[in-house]
Structure 1
Protein backbone atom coordinates (compact mmCIF):
# COMPACT_ATOMS: atom_id res chain seq x y z
CA UNK A 1 0.00 0.00 0.00
CA UNK A 2 2.77 2.40 -0.85
CA UNK A 3 1.51 5.71 -2.18
CA UNK A 4 3.33 8.78 -3.39
CA UNK A 5 2.88 10.36 0.07
CA UNK A 6 4.10 7.46 2.19
CA UNK A 7 7.77 6.54 2.49
CA UNK A 8 8.84 3.22 1.05
CA UNK A 9 10.75 0.77 3.16
CA UNK A 10 13.44 -1.71 2.27
CA UNK A 11 11.62 -4.63 3.88
CA UNK A 12 8.65 -6.41 2.40
CA UNK A 13 5.17 -5.86 3.69
CA UNK A 14 4.76 -8.87 5.96
CA UNK A 15 2.50 -11.67 4.86
CA UNK A 16 2.69 -13.11 8.33
CA UNK A 17 5.34 -15.55 9.50
CA UNK A 18 7.51 -17.14 6.85
CA UNK A 19 5.42 -20.22 6.40
CA UNK A 20 5.25 -20.00 2.65
CA UNK A 21 2.07 -22.04 2.56
CA UNK A 22 -0.26 -21.71 -0.35
CA UNK A 23 -3.15 -20.86 1.97
CA UNK A 24 -1.76 -17.42 2.80
CA UNK A 25 -3.32 -14.49 0.98
CA UNK A 26 -1.89 -13.59 -2.38
CA UNK A 27 -0.04 -10.32 -2.81
CA UNK A 28 -0.19 -7.49 -5.31
CA UNK A 29 2.44 -7.76 -8.01
CA UNK A 30 1.04 -5.49 -10.72
CA UNK A 31 -1.53 -2.74 -10.50
CA UNK A 32 -2.50 -1.16 -13.80
CA UNK A 33 -5.50 0.81 -14.88
CA UNK A 34 -6.92 -2.35 -16.41
CA UNK A 35 -6.84 -4.55 -13.30
CA UNK A 36 -4.62 -6.17 -10.70
CA UNK A 37 -2.37 -9.19 -10.80
CA UNK A 38 -1.75 -11.04 -7.56
CA UNK A 39 0.76 -13.78 -6.86
CA UNK A 40 0.32 -16.24 -3.99
CA UNK A 41 3.29 -16.77 -1.69
CA UNK A 42 3.13 -20.49 -2.56
CA UNK A 43 3.95 -19.59 -6.17
CA UNK A 44 7.08 -17.70 -5.10
CA UNK A 45 7.95 -20.60 -2.81
CA UNK A 46 7.68 -23.16 -5.62
CA UNK A 47 9.65 -21.02 -8.11
CA UNK A 48 12.40 -20.58 -5.51
CA UNK A 49 12.61 -24.29 -4.77
CA UNK A 50 12.82 -25.27 -8.43
CA UNK A 51 15.44 -22.59 -9.16
CA UNK A 52 17.59 -23.69 -6.20
CA UNK A 53 17.48 -27.36 -7.27
CA UNK A 54 18.62 -26.42 -10.80
CA UNK A 55 22.08 -25.47 -9.50
CA UNK A 56 24.66 -28.24 -9.77
CA UNK A 57 25.91 -29.20 -6.31
CA UNK A 58 22.54 -28.91 -4.57
CA UNK A 59 21.62 -32.47 -3.56
CA UNK A 60 18.24 -31.73 -1.97
CA UNK A 61 16.30 -29.20 0.05
CA UNK A 62 15.04 -29.09 3.60
CA UNK A 63 16.13 -30.13 7.06
CA UNK A 64 15.85 -33.59 8.54
CA UNK A 65 12.18 -33.25 9.51
CA UNK A 66 10.96 -31.89 6.18
CA UNK A 67 12.97 -34.53 4.28
CA UNK A 68 11.43 -37.27 6.46
CA UNK A 69 7.91 -36.01 5.74
CA UNK A 70 8.79 -35.77 2.04
CA UNK A 71 9.93 -39.41 2.02
CA UNK A 72 6.66 -40.46 3.65
CA UNK A 73 4.66 -38.35 1.20
CA UNK A 74 6.42 -40.06 -1.74
CA UNK A 75 5.22 -43.48 -0.54
CA UNK A 76 1.54 -42.56 -0.22
CA UNK A 77 -0.46 -43.82 -3.22
CA UNK A 78 -2.00 -40.88 -5.04
CA UNK A 79 0.23 -38.47 -3.12
CA UNK A 80 1.92 -35.54 -4.77
CA UNK A 81 5.43 -36.91 -4.28
CA UNK A 82 8.23 -34.60 -3.26
CA UNK A 83 7.20 -31.04 -2.76
CA UNK A 84 9.01 -28.39 -4.78
CA UNK A 85 8.59 -26.12 -1.75
CA UNK A 86 10.35 -28.31 0.85
CA UNK A 87 13.10 -26.33 2.54
CA UNK A 88 11.79 -23.00 1.24
CA UNK A 89 10.16 -20.27 3.31
CA UNK A 90 9.08 -16.98 1.79
CA UNK A 91 7.74 -13.65 2.89
CA UNK A 92 5.94 -11.80 0.12
CA UNK A 93 4.98 -8.16 0.22
CA UNK A 94 3.24 -6.02 -2.35
CA UNK A 95 6.35 -5.48 -4.46
CA UNK A 96 9.12 -7.39 -2.68
CA UNK A 97 9.96 -10.89 -1.50
CA UNK A 98 12.40 -12.38 1.01
CA UNK A 99 13.38 -16.04 0.72
CA UNK A 100 14.95 -18.54 3.15
CA UNK A 101 16.39 -21.79 1.78
CA UNK A 102 17.55 -24.93 3.62
CA UNK A 103 19.82 -26.98 1.37
CA UNK A 104 21.90 -30.15 1.41
CA UNK A 105 25.01 -29.91 -0.74
CA UNK A 106 27.00 -32.59 -2.56
CA UNK A 107 30.33 -33.41 -0.95
CA UNK A 108 33.15 -31.58 -2.73
CA UNK A 109 31.08 -28.60 -3.82
CA UNK A 110 32.46 -25.22 -2.78
CA UNK A 111 29.75 -24.02 -0.40
CA UNK A 112 30.43 -20.29 -0.79
CA UNK A 113 30.40 -20.46 -4.59
CA UNK A 114 27.37 -22.77 -4.54
CA UNK A 115 25.46 -20.36 -2.30
CA UNK A 116 26.25 -17.49 -4.67
CA UNK A 117 25.04 -19.51 -7.66
CA UNK A 118 21.84 -20.58 -5.87
CA UNK A 119 21.15 -17.01 -4.76
CA UNK A 120 21.71 -15.69 -8.30
CA UNK A 121 19.49 -18.35 -9.87
CA UNK A 122 16.66 -17.90 -7.35
CA UNK A 123 16.68 -14.11 -7.60
CA UNK A 124 16.72 -14.23 -11.39
CA UNK A 125 13.88 -16.75 -11.62
CA UNK A 126 11.61 -15.07 -9.07
CA UNK A 127 12.15 -11.55 -10.41
CA UNK A 128 11.75 -12.61 -14.05
CA UNK A 129 8.63 -14.72 -13.48
CA UNK A 130 6.81 -12.58 -10.89
CA UNK A 131 8.09 -9.03 -11.27
CA UNK A 132 8.69 -8.93 -7.50
CA UNK A 133 11.97 -7.47 -6.22
CA UNK A 134 13.86 -10.10 -4.21
CA UNK A 135 15.50 -8.22 -1.35
CA UNK A 136 17.24 -11.19 0.26
CA UNK A 137 17.89 -14.89 -0.14
CA UNK A 138 19.17 -16.48 3.06
CA UNK A 139 20.74 -19.92 2.61
CA UNK A 140 21.28 -22.43 5.41
CA UNK A 141 23.42 -25.46 4.54
CA UNK A 142 22.06 -28.20 6.79
CA UNK A 143 23.97 -31.25 5.60
CA UNK A 144 26.45 -32.63 3.10
CA UNK A 145 25.50 -35.59 0.91
CA UNK A 146 28.31 -38.12 0.65
CA UNK A 147 28.67 -40.36 -2.41
CA UNK A 148 27.24 -43.73 -1.45
CA UNK A 149 24.78 -42.21 1.02
CA UNK A 150 21.94 -42.95 -1.37
CA UNK A 151 20.16 -45.05 1.24
CA UNK A 152 17.85 -43.42 3.78
CA UNK A 153 18.34 -39.62 3.63
CA UNK A 154 15.58 -38.92 6.14
CA UNK A 155 17.92 -38.24 9.06
CA UNK A 156 21.10 -36.16 8.93
CA UNK A 157 24.25 -37.67 10.39
CA UNK A 158 24.58 -37.00 14.12
CA UNK A 159 26.85 -34.07 14.87
CA UNK A 160 30.05 -34.94 16.71
CA UNK A 161 30.26 -33.59 20.22
CA UNK A 162 31.85 -30.18 20.28
CA UNK A 163 35.21 -29.61 21.95
CA UNK A 164 34.63 -25.85 21.95
CA UNK A 165 32.18 -23.99 24.14
Structure 2
Protein backbone atom coordinates (compact mmCIF):
# COMPACT_ATOMS: atom_id res chain seq x y z
CA UNK A 1 0.00 0.00 0.00
CA UNK A 2 1.47 3.39 -0.94
CA UNK A 3 1.67 6.38 1.38
CA UNK A 4 -1.06 8.17 -0.60
CA UNK A 5 -3.45 5.25 -0.19
CA UNK A 6 -2.77 5.06 3.56
CA UNK A 7 -3.35 8.81 3.93
CA UNK A 8 -6.57 8.65 1.91
CA UNK A 9 -7.78 5.66 3.94
CA UNK A 10 -7.04 7.44 7.24
CA UNK A 11 -8.75 10.59 6.03
CA UNK A 12 -11.80 8.59 4.97
CA UNK A 13 -12.23 7.23 8.49
CA UNK A 14 -11.65 10.57 10.21
CA UNK A 15 -14.56 12.67 11.40
CA UNK A 16 -13.79 16.35 11.79
CA UNK A 17 -15.73 18.65 14.06
CA UNK A 18 -15.48 22.37 14.50
CA UNK A 19 -16.00 24.08 17.87
CA UNK A 20 -16.01 27.68 19.02
CA UNK A 21 -13.63 28.66 21.83
CA UNK A 22 -14.31 31.37 24.40
CA UNK A 23 -12.32 33.85 22.29
CA UNK A 24 -14.51 33.17 19.26
CA UNK A 25 -11.84 31.27 17.32
CA UNK A 26 -12.85 28.10 15.57
CA UNK A 27 -10.81 25.02 16.38
CA UNK A 28 -10.85 21.76 14.46
CA UNK A 29 -10.51 18.42 16.14
CA UNK A 30 -10.20 15.08 14.42
CA UNK A 31 -11.24 11.77 15.91
CA UNK A 32 -10.74 8.48 14.27
CA UNK A 33 -11.70 5.25 15.94
CA UNK A 34 -9.44 3.46 13.52
CA UNK A 35 -6.45 5.65 14.46
CA UNK A 36 -7.16 5.20 18.18
CA UNK A 37 -7.27 1.42 17.73
CA UNK A 38 -3.92 1.54 15.94
CA UNK A 39 -2.45 3.62 18.73
CA UNK A 40 -3.70 1.19 21.38
CA UNK A 41 -2.80 -2.13 19.77
CA UNK A 42 -0.65 -1.41 16.75
CA UNK A 43 -3.31 -2.60 14.31
CA UNK A 44 -6.95 -2.09 13.41
CA UNK A 45 -7.92 -5.62 14.50
CA UNK A 46 -9.07 -4.84 18.00
CA UNK A 47 -8.78 -2.77 21.11
CA UNK A 48 -6.83 -3.30 24.31
CA UNK A 49 -8.28 -2.35 27.70
CA UNK A 50 -6.13 -2.28 30.81
CA UNK A 51 -7.88 -2.59 34.18
CA UNK A 52 -7.10 -0.19 37.00
CA UNK A 53 -5.87 -3.06 39.20
CA UNK A 54 -3.18 -3.94 36.63
CA UNK A 55 -1.79 -0.40 36.65
CA UNK A 56 -2.02 -0.31 40.48
CA UNK A 57 -0.04 -3.56 40.80
CA UNK A 58 2.66 -2.29 38.42
CA UNK A 59 2.91 0.96 40.41
CA UNK A 60 3.03 -0.87 43.74
CA UNK A 61 5.82 -3.18 42.66
CA UNK A 62 7.77 -0.29 41.10
CA UNK A 63 7.47 1.79 44.29
CA UNK A 64 8.66 -1.09 46.50
CA UNK A 65 11.77 -1.56 44.31
CA UNK A 66 13.24 1.76 45.45
CA UNK A 67 15.77 1.70 48.30
CA UNK A 68 14.55 3.87 51.16
CA UNK A 69 10.91 2.76 50.94
CA UNK A 70 10.27 0.88 54.18
CA UNK A 71 6.63 0.08 53.42
CA UNK A 72 3.80 1.17 51.15
CA UNK A 73 0.46 2.43 52.46
CA UNK A 74 -0.94 4.51 55.26
CA UNK A 75 -1.37 3.29 58.84
CA UNK A 76 -4.69 1.50 58.30
CA UNK A 77 -3.52 -0.18 55.10
CA UNK A 78 -0.35 -1.40 56.78
CA UNK A 79 -2.30 -2.83 59.74
CA UNK A 80 -4.58 -4.72 57.36
CA UNK A 81 -1.48 -5.93 55.50
CA UNK A 82 0.04 -7.24 58.76
CA UNK A 83 -3.20 -9.12 59.53
CA UNK A 84 -3.12 -10.65 56.05
CA UNK A 85 0.42 -11.90 56.64
CA UNK A 86 -0.77 -13.91 59.66
CA UNK A 87 -3.74 -15.56 57.91
CA UNK A 88 -2.70 -18.83 56.24
CA UNK A 89 -3.06 -18.73 52.46
CA UNK A 90 -3.54 -14.96 52.32
CA UNK A 91 -1.10 -12.83 50.38
CA UNK A 92 0.09 -9.28 50.85
CA UNK A 93 -1.68 -6.95 48.43
CA UNK A 94 0.53 -5.48 45.71
CA UNK A 95 -1.89 -2.56 45.47
CA UNK A 96 -1.63 -1.56 49.14
CA UNK A 97 -1.03 2.18 49.34
CA UNK A 98 -1.64 2.73 45.63
CA UNK A 99 -4.53 4.61 44.07
CA UNK A 100 -4.85 4.99 40.29
CA UNK A 101 -7.09 6.61 37.73
CA UNK A 102 -6.83 5.05 34.29
CA UNK A 103 -8.26 6.49 31.10
CA UNK A 104 -8.01 5.28 27.53
CA UNK A 105 -4.51 6.67 26.99
CA UNK A 106 -3.42 8.17 30.31
CA UNK A 107 -3.03 7.22 33.95
CA UNK A 108 -2.54 9.13 37.21
CA UNK A 109 -1.10 7.47 40.31
CA UNK A 110 -1.08 8.26 44.05
CA UNK A 111 1.50 6.41 46.15
CA UNK A 112 1.52 6.38 49.98
CA UNK A 113 4.74 5.27 51.65
CA UNK A 114 6.72 4.98 54.87
CA UNK A 115 10.31 6.13 54.35
CA UNK A 116 13.43 4.84 56.05
CA UNK A 117 15.00 7.35 58.43
CA UNK A 118 18.00 9.17 56.97
CA UNK A 119 16.82 9.07 53.36
CA UNK A 120 16.38 12.40 51.58
CA UNK A 121 12.62 12.36 51.12
CA UNK A 122 12.58 14.67 48.10
CA UNK A 123 15.09 12.40 46.32
CA UNK A 124 13.16 9.30 47.39
CA UNK A 125 9.94 10.75 45.98
CA UNK A 126 11.67 11.64 42.71
CA UNK A 127 13.09 8.10 42.41
CA UNK A 128 9.67 6.56 43.10
CA UNK A 129 8.11 8.87 40.53
CA UNK A 130 10.68 7.94 37.85
CA UNK A 131 10.41 4.20 38.50
CA UNK A 132 6.61 4.15 38.55
CA UNK A 133 6.34 6.22 35.36
CA UNK A 134 8.90 4.07 33.53
CA UNK A 135 7.29 0.78 34.60
CA UNK A 136 3.73 1.81 33.70
CA UNK A 137 4.65 3.42 30.38
CA UNK A 138 6.82 0.50 29.28
CA UNK A 139 4.40 -2.24 30.32
CA UNK A 140 1.09 -0.65 29.30
CA UNK A 141 1.86 2.07 26.75
CA UNK A 142 -0.24 4.51 28.81
CA UNK A 143 1.05 8.04 29.33
CA UNK A 144 1.47 8.74 33.06
CA UNK A 145 0.31 12.30 33.69
CA UNK A 146 1.28 12.47 37.36
CA UNK A 147 2.59 10.44 40.26
CA UNK A 148 1.80 11.95 43.66
CA UNK A 149 3.86 10.61 46.57
CA UNK A 150 2.62 10.96 50.17
CA UNK A 151 5.00 10.10 53.01
CA UNK A 152 2.93 8.99 56.00
CA UNK A 153 5.70 8.05 58.40
CA UNK A 154 9.43 7.54 58.89
CA UNK A 155 10.79 4.18 60.06
CA UNK A 156 13.63 4.19 62.57
CA UNK A 157 15.71 1.04 62.20
CA UNK A 158 15.95 0.56 65.97
CA UNK A 159 12.13 0.26 66.43
CA UNK A 160 12.27 -3.48 65.72
CA UNK A 161 15.32 -3.94 67.99
CA UNK A 162 13.56 -2.41 71.00
CA UNK A 163 10.36 -4.37 70.54
CA UNK A 164 12.06 -7.73 71.26
CA UNK A 165 11.97 -7.10 75.00
CA UNK A 166 15.56 -6.05 75.64
CA UNK A 167 16.13 -2.97 77.73
CA UNK A 168 18.33 -0.14 76.60
CA UNK A 169 19.32 0.86 80.12
CA UNK A 170 20.15 -1.54 82.98
So what's the TM-score if we normalise by structure 1? 0.73
User: Which residue is equivalent to 1:161?
Assistant: none
Deviation per CA, 1:37-71, whole angstroms, max 9, x where unpaired? 11110000000000011011011100110000011
Structure 1 residue ranges without an equivalent (≥5):
9-28, 152-165
Query: Offset at 1:150?
Result: 2.8
Q: Does 1:41 align with 2:52?
A: yes
User: Which residue is equivalent to 2:106?
Assistant: 96
Separation in 2 of the partners of 1:84 and 1:4? 43
Instruction: Report the structure number with the largest CA radius of gyration.
Output: 2
Deviation per CA, 1:114-157, whole angstroms, max 9, x where unpaired? 10010000000000000000000000000000012237xxxxxx
Q: How does 1:1-165 map to 2 (within 5 A)?
A: 5=17, 30-31=40-41, 32-80=43-91, 82-150=92-160
Residues 77 and 39 of structure 1: CA distance in aligned 2, closer, same or farther (over 3 Å): same
* Equivalences, count: 129
Higher relative contact order (CA 8 A, sep 6+): 1
Separation in 2 of the partners of 1:90 and 1:149? 32
Deviation per CA, 1:7-58, whole angstroms, max 9, x where unpaired? 69xxxxxxxxxxxxxxxxxxxx825311111111000000000001101101
Separation in 2 of the partners of 1:4 and 1:124? 34
Structure 1 segments of 4 or more deviating over 3 A? 3-8
Comparing both structures, which one devotes a greater share of its residues to helix?
2
Deviation per CA, 1:80-122, whole angstroms, max 9, x where unpaired? 2x11110000000000000000000000000001100100000
Provide the aligned C-alpha RMSD in A. 2.2
Structure 2 residue ranges without an equivalent (≥5):
1-14, 18-27, 31-38, 162-170
Separation in 2 of the partners of 1:88 and 1:7? 35
So what's the TM-score if we normalise by structure 2? 0.71
| SS class of match (1:78) | coil
